[in-house]
Structure 1
Amino acid sequence: MNPTGRLHGTDLVLTRTFRAPAEDVWASVTEPDRTARWFGAWTGDPRPGATVKLQLAFEDGQPWTEARIDACEPPRRLALTTHDDMGRWRLELLLTETADGTELRLVHHLDTVDGIGEVGPGWEYYLDQLIACREGTPLPAFDDYYPAMKPYFEGLR
């Protein structure tokens, strides 16, 4: 596995392409039964300005966190802000239809690039989990991503 993340200023950007329409990819990243398969389930009212509870199903202890929905523009853009023990994370999922399917860009708006060596491999792992769930293949192991990808992401600074 090769890391794909890029740093644009303090925005960490990771991209994946799916041979599916944007509406189908959107469902994979917004419907709680589908997000539970690769990231975690969520509960609450999914509207801009509302806060939902999100379970981090693949983290130690499967903790719950809160995520405020900053923008929801189906099937193109979802922006969230989370606050937890890891701090404040501002995230965007941007979907663009292409001739071959749909490109998904995950943008993590970092306040600082400190810790990017831990954050980047985690997003690579989660996006590859999304691919595995959609393709019906075995889920990847986090140990294949971290610490192996840490030097790559630290080198982006």
Structure 2
Amino acid sequence: MSPIPTGRLFRTGTGSDLVLSRTFRASAEDVWASLTETERTARWFGPWEGDAAPGRTVRVQMAFEEGTPWCDLRIEACDPPRRLALSMIDESGAWHLELLLAEADGSTELRLVQHLTTEDGLGETGSGWEYYLDLLVASREGGPRPDFDDYHPAMKAYFEELPARAETPGHVR
């Protein structure tokens, strides 16, 4: 079965927000640990090292990217177990992300929000986040690791068409 894209695009006063979500039958604290503890992030994104605190920078290894590069990731805000705001600059540009958790009735919804200054490259970006979020699901459930070829280029057109379907706020912030 091919993965189905979930991303949505919202117009904001400063650009656009790409929003993707997953729901876990787990507490917010448990999902938070999957997002912040290096031994758990290593299973789906990559390990990190450094002194993690708001205003500080840690080094993260992109374990599932070609060449497994290391990059600097700045922690902009950290409100356990609800909100983690991050920024990063790499060869692809600037990345401004928020990971937002909301728990209700024994389940936790994770929303990954990428604050965009441009919508260029959405086909690649959206496909990549779908892949990483499904890696997170697989790491938590003990399932097989997804194959990136099922995400890109298969989801590229969906994400490239999102600007025509963009929604207005009342959403994520």
TM-score band, normalised by shorter chain? over 0.9
Structure 1 letter corresponding to 2:41 = T
Displaced runs of 4 or more, over 2 A = none
The answer to whether structure 1 residue 13 and structure 2 residue 15 are counterparts is no
55-64 or 92-101: bigger deviation:
92-101
Distance 2:76 2:56 in 1: 8
* TM-score when normalising by structure 1: 0.99
Q: Tell me, in whole angstroms, the C-alpha distance in 1 between the residues paired with 2:104 and 2:41.
A: 23
Counterparts of 1:65 and 1:128, CA distance in 2 = 22
- Long gaps (5+) in structure 2: 164-173
Tell me the SS of whatever aligns to 1:37.
coil
Correspondence for 2:85 among 68, 79, 90 = 79
The CA deviation at 1:132 is 0.3
Residue by residue over 1:112-151, the C-alpha shift from the partner in whole angstroms, topping out at 9 and shown as x without a partner, is 0010010000000000000000000110000000000000
- Which residue does 2:167 correspond to in 1? none
Supply the distance in 2 between the matched residues of 1:86 and 1:34 (Cα, whole angstroms).
Answer: 25
TM-superposed deviation, 1:84: 1.1
In the alignment of these two chains, the number of paired residues is 157
Identical columns (%): 66
Query: Which runs of structure 2 are paired with 1:126-145 in the superposition (5 Å)?
Result: 126-145=132-151
How many Å apart are 1:87 and its aligned residue? 1.1
Partner of 2:76: 70
* Equivalent position amino acid for 2:5 in 1: P
Residue in 2 aligned with 1:24? 30
On the 8 A contact 2:20/2:113 being kept in 1, the answer is yes
Q: Distance in 1 between matches of 2:104 and 2:51?
A: 31
Structure 1: unaligned runs, 5 residues or longer: none
The answer to whether structure 1 residue 35 and structure 2 residue 38 are counterparts is no
Shift of 1:100: 3.9
Aligned to 1:47: 53
